[in-house]
């Protein structure tokens, strides 16, 4: 008898609100993904979406083999306990869905297991892909899905272990379940952005931040780690506009600490609304400077989260150049400006060099990735820290700082994996401001 593992999830952005589900059928003996299903279902509650994901997963497994044994894994305690018969089903919306799920397979062929949310990333990503597609007025398409990418490598590594005697399906299933319990889920910004397989990550970021400062030394080559785990994903939000922003004046941490302008406050509210709609931010960390705090607290009010201040995220201290335009600096400090443009070790008079900022930001990155492993965290900060995080993630040279554009209130995202590699997921997105 074949054995399948069905992982299912559902979500609602508002509860009730725009909702969708995702489910995946996995071969328990090999860890191979056999079938995926996802759908945007309109306005519904989380529980309804989770039940619909369960029904879709069971039907997909039945389509593959109606005689198979099915082990369902979900992070919904309610659905697992109700379908296991330990909790009564009282809500009128749940009863028909539970009955539909129970009809797909005979009860003797299905078992249920609750798993933590971080262990259900594949189905979670499918559900978010479906909701994202529905928001655009589209249907979820398996050809455009990237949900399987971050899980495939770990599953493949897990099943390379020596198996039991030929035909020992139970032992194979037990090994697969143990491996799947730690399979990485790679939450990108919004959890539905494109991920990368572990072997592609190892190749594409072989430099892995090995720039002149703040460097890491990740593994090089195409070797696939057995278990990278879910990444720490930093969603990088530049603060909204201040009065100095449109005039392109140097505005660092060396004395100028302007508040948001009226435009900047509107930008912060638009960003907050976008993050609330996506529903993926789990924590907020901000630079202590006023413009970042004001932006961060606008988002926090929408998400119901606290704001943690991090000194390492403050902007460069531009010293004597604070409040000046580039033209004014060129006129008053021509030699110092030429040196600053030529070397990351040069600093504005009385200020901070980009090399020093890079060391500070790299140390902050390491602290935060350790503290928020496997979570999606909003970092509200400034131009230089964001560009530095991007530069280090790509292993780009210091001069790349001058070749990136970051608009006020723009969003970027970088994922950091346990092996030291990083993946740039997004850069300078301003779609929420339009």
93-107 per-position pLDDT tens digit: 889 999 999 999 999
Residue 135, pLDDT above cutoff 70: yes
CB atoms within 10 A of CB 366: 15
Confidence bin at 410 (pLDDT 50/70/90): very high
Name the catalytic one among 241, 294, 310, 315. Answer: 315
**Model pLDDT, residue 434:** 86
pTM for this one?
Answer: 0.53
Span 378-396, average pLDDT:
95
**Model pLDDT, residue 153:** 46
Q: Quick one: angle between helices 46-64 and 121-135, nearest 10?
A: 110
**Model pLDDT, residue 143:** 73
Distance, in Å, from the CA atom of 89 to the CA atom of 333, rounded to the nearest integer, reads 74
For tokens 């709609």, the residue is: 277
Residue 422, pLDDT above cutoff 60: yes
- Specify the range with the lowest mean pLDDT, choosing from 172-181, 351-360, 386-395: 172-181
Of 369, 354, 337, 349, which is closest to residue 213 (Cα–Cα)? 354
**Model pLDDT, residue 368:** 95
CB 219 within 8 A of CB 202: yes
Average pLDDT taken over every residue of the chain: 82
Q: What are 150-183's pLDDT values in tens digits?
A: 555 444 444 433 333 333 434 444 444 443 443 3
Relative to beta strand 232-238, strand 283-286 is unpaired
Q: Is residue 239 annotated as part of the catalytic site, yes or no?
A: yes
- Which residue has better confidence, 191 or 241? 241
CB 72 within 8 A of CB 112: yes
**Model pLDDT, residue 138:** 87
- Which residue has better confidence, 332 or 256? 332
Q: Is 146 exposed, middle or buried (0-12, 13-18, 19+ CB in 10 A)?
A: middle
**Model pLDDT, residue 197:** 34
Beta bridge partners, 11, equal 20
Residue 366, pLDDT above cutoff 50: yes
Cis upstream peptide for 238 (omega within 30°): no
Q: What are 247-302's pLDDT values in tens digits?
A: 889 998 877 789 999 999 999 999 999 999 888 899 999 999 999 999 999 999 99
Q: Is residue 315 annotated as part of the catalytic site, yes or no?
A: yes
Residue 145, pLDDT above cutoff 60: yes
Reported residue count of the chain is 434
Residue 424, pLDDT above cutoff 80: yes
Domains of the chain, each with CATH number or no CATH: 3-149 (3.30.420.10), 232-433 (3.40.50.1240)
Q: What are 207-230's pLDDT values in tens digits?
A: 333 333 344 444 433 333 445 567
- Point out the annotated binding site for substrate: 291
Distance, in Å, from the CA atom of 25 to the CA atom of 8, rounded to the nearest integer, reads 9
Task: Kindly tell me the sign of the dihedral angle through the C-alpha atoms of 301, 306, 311, 313.
Answer: negative
Three-state secondary structure of 295-317: HHHHHHHHHCCCEEECHHHCCCC
Give the percent of the chain with pLDDT over 70: 82
Confidence bin at 15 (pLDDT 50/70/90): confident
Q: What are 20-74's pLDDT values in tens digits?
A: 999 999 988 878 888 999 999 999 999 999 999 999 999 999 999 999 999 999 9
Name the catalytic one among 239, 294, 310, 382. Answer: 239
Q: Quick one: angle between helices 383-394 and 354-371, nearest 10?
A: 80
- Point out the annotated binding site: 291
CB 392 within 8 A of CB 358: yes
Q: Quick one: angle between helices 121-135 and 149-158, nearest 10?
A: 160
**Model pLDDT, residue 277:** 86
**Model pLDDT, residue 150:** 54
- Which residue has better confidence, 139 or 154? 139
Span 411-425, average pLDDT:
89
**Model pLDDT, residue 183:** 36
Span 190-201, average pLDDT:
34
Beta bridge partners, 429, equal 411
Q: Is 110 exposed, middle or buried (0-12, 13-18, 19+ CB in 10 A)?
A: buried
**Model pLDDT, residue 156:** 45
């Amino acid at each position: 008898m074949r054995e399948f593992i069905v992982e299912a999830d559902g979500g609602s952005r508002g509860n009730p609100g725009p909702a969708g589900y995702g489910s995946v059928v996995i071969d328990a003996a090999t860890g191979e993904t056999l079938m995926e299903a996802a759908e945007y279902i309109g306005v519904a509650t989380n529980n309804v979406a989770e039940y619909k994901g369960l029904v879709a997963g069971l039907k997909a497994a039945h389509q593959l083999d109606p005689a198979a044994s099915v082990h369902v894994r979900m992070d919904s305690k309610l659905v697992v306990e109700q379908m296991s018969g330990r909790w009564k089903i009282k809500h009128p919306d749940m009863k028909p869905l539970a009955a539909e799920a129970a009809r797909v397979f005979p009860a003797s062929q299905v078992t249920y297991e609750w798993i933590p949310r971080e262990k259900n990333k594949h189905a979670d990503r499918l559900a978010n892909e479906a909701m994202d597609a529905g928001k655009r007025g589209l249907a979820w398409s398996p050809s455009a899905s990237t949900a399987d990418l971050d899980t495939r490598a770990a599953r493949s590594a897990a099943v390379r272990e020596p198996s039991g005697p030929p035909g020992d399906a139970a032992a194979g299933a037990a090994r697969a379940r143990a491996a799947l319990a730690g399979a990485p889920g790679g939450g990108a910004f919004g959890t539905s952005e494109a991920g990368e397989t572990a072997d592609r990550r190892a190749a594409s970021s072989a430099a892995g931040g090995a720039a002149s400062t703040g460097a890491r030394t990740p593994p090089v080559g195409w070797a696939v780690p057995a278990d990278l785990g879910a990444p720490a994903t930093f969603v990088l939000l530049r603060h909204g506009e201040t009065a100095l922003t449109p005039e392109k004046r140097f505005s660092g941490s060396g004395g100028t600490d302007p508040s948001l302008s009226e435009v900047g406050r509107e930008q912060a509210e638009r960003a907050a609304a976008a993050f609330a709609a996506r529903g993926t931010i789990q924590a907020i960390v901000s630079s202590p400077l006023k413009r970042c705090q004001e932006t961060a607290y606008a988002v926090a009010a929408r998400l119901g989260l606290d704001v943690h201040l991090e000194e390492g995220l403050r902007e460069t201290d531009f010293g004597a150049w604070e409040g000046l335009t580039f033209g004014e600096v060129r006129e008053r400090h021509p030699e110092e400006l030429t040196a600053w443009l030529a070397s990351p070790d040069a600093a504005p008079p009385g200020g901070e060099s980009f090399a020093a900022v890079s060391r500070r930001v790299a140390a902050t990155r390491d602290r935060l990735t350790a503290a928020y492993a496997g979570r999606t965290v909003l970092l509200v900060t400034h131009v230089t820290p964001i560009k530095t995080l991007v530069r280090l993630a790509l292993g780009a040279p210091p001069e790349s700082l001058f070749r990136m554009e970051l608009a006020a209130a723009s969003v970027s995202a970088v994922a950091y994996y346990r092996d030291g590699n990083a993946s740039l997921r997004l850069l300078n997105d301003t779609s929420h401001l339009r």
